[in-house]
């Protein structure tokens, strides 16, 4: 039994540490790693359509949430919105998951003032997340 505890305890501690740090990200910043504008632009049109279709299907089947209305947006509309969003170099660090919320709001007629505020928040959160990632790399 002692041998089992000696082997299991480090694993349990690692899992607990990972779980605690994985959920400590700032609000409204995607946990996706590298799914930003550069990633999006590197994908083929077929991949983009499959990615959006899969994302929509997942939310359509998920329990009701504030993001379930993404499933109501047509894939071609979302793809066009993402392509347009990432044409602006200032948006390249924003994660695709967060960009989809912005595109959804844009398609649903959110006011220009609210969209401008949302865009500013997305850019700030993306910059903060990138700075935190750089700090983490520097600490290693």
Q: Where are the domains of the chain?
A: 34-131
Low-confidence ranges of the chain (pLDDT < 70): 1-33, 63-68, 139-140
pLDDT in tens, 72-94: 788 999 999 999 999 999 999 99
Q: In terms of pTM, does the model score above 0.85?
A: no
Q: Compute the C-alpha angle 9/13/15, nearest 5°.
A: 120
**Cα dist from 92 to 41, 61, 105, 123, 130, whole Å:** 9, 29, 19, 9, 11
Using a 10 angstrom Cβ sphere, with 0-12 exposed, 13-18 middle and 19 or more buried, the burial of residue 31 is exposed
């Amino acid at each position: 039994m002692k041998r089992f505890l000696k082997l299991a305890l480090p694993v349990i501690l690692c899992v607990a540490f990972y779980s605690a740090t994985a959920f400590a990200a700032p609000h409204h910043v995607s946990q996706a790693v590298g799914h930003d504008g550069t990633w999006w632009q590197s994908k083929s049109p077929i991949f983009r359509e499959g990615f959006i279709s899969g994302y929509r299907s997942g939310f359509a089947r998920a329990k009701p949430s504030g993001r379930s209305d993404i499933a109501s947006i047509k894939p071609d509309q979302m793809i066009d919105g993402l392509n347009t969003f990432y044409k602006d170099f200032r948006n390249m660090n924003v994660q695709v998951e967060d960009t989809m919320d912005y595109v959804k709001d844009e398609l649903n007629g959110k006011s220009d003032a609210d969209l401008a505020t949302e865009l500013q928040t997305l850019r700030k959160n993306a910059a903060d997340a990138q700075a935190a990632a750089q700090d983490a790399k520097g600490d290693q």
